[in-house]
Amino acid sequence: RQNFHFRTSNPRSLAVLALMKTSPINNSNNNKAAVLLESNPDYRSLLDERDKSFARMLVSTSQRRLGQIDKVLSHCCDSNYPPTRKKKDKYGIMVQATLRIGVAQILFMDTPAFAAVKETVEVLKRLESSSGGDRYRVPLAMIKFANAILRKVDREGHDILLHHTCLTDNISPWLVRDWKHAWGEEKTMQIVKQLFDEDAYDHIDLTLNLPNGLSESERNVEEAKLLMEFDDDDDDD
């Protein structure tokens, strides 16, 4: 059995480790990555909340856009993706998780491309695996491969994303088929676009709609009444 660890931990390395631990060759457990990230003692020991937020964003973006990310990587890697195709390759899962994190930053986050490439490749340099008492570091050739692919994604990724991927790539095909059968092609695409619209809920106003002209004490009374109504509703449930 292989165990993975880093000589030093940072948001990128923790995100990569979470994806590695939940991404077997068939990717069946990928939805548990965020849970494993937040249960990692190294994650909980991060002192800066911004580092924790960045690590969570790396994992959630990689999961949310996984279909498109893998399509972009398939175009950039040609026949060499996914690197986990060879089951005996003990480095494949490491490289795949690292590439996914890198693409998430380059195409879907505000991370400057040069930082996304450089710092993500550094993760592979610090990564070690152990099996049967032996320790392994990622070979230099695979580090150079990852570096070249991420640089290619920086140059060509946005064009590939636009012309060779679709938002539905991120959703289970059976679910898309069911939606199309129930609501048709056009309505399905509207639903999918809404799901991936980062600003879709920015315009929802949750402020209390109280009458104008109330004094502060009167507003407090009305707000207390509303809170009591919510509490009563919860009790009924």
Identify the pLDDT of residue 109.
93
pLDDT band for 36, please (50, 70, 90 cuts): confident
CA 8, distance to chain mean position in Å, is: 22
Number of H helices, E strands in the chain: 10, 3
Q: DSSP code of 108? A: I
**pLDDT beyond 80 at 229:** no
pLDDT band for 1, please (50, 70, 90 cuts): low
Which stretch of 21-35, 122-136, 208-222 has the lowest confidence by average pLDDT? 21-35
Report the distance separating Cα 216 and Cα 227, nearest Å. Answer: 16
Under 8 Å between Cβ of 128 and 5 = yes
pLDDT single digits (tens) 108-143:
998 999 999 999 999 988 876 655 555 667 888 889
Per the DSSP assignment, residues forming a β-bridge with 4 are 129
Report the distance separating Cα 237 and Cα 235, nearest Å. Answer: 5
Structure tokens at 148: 């070249």
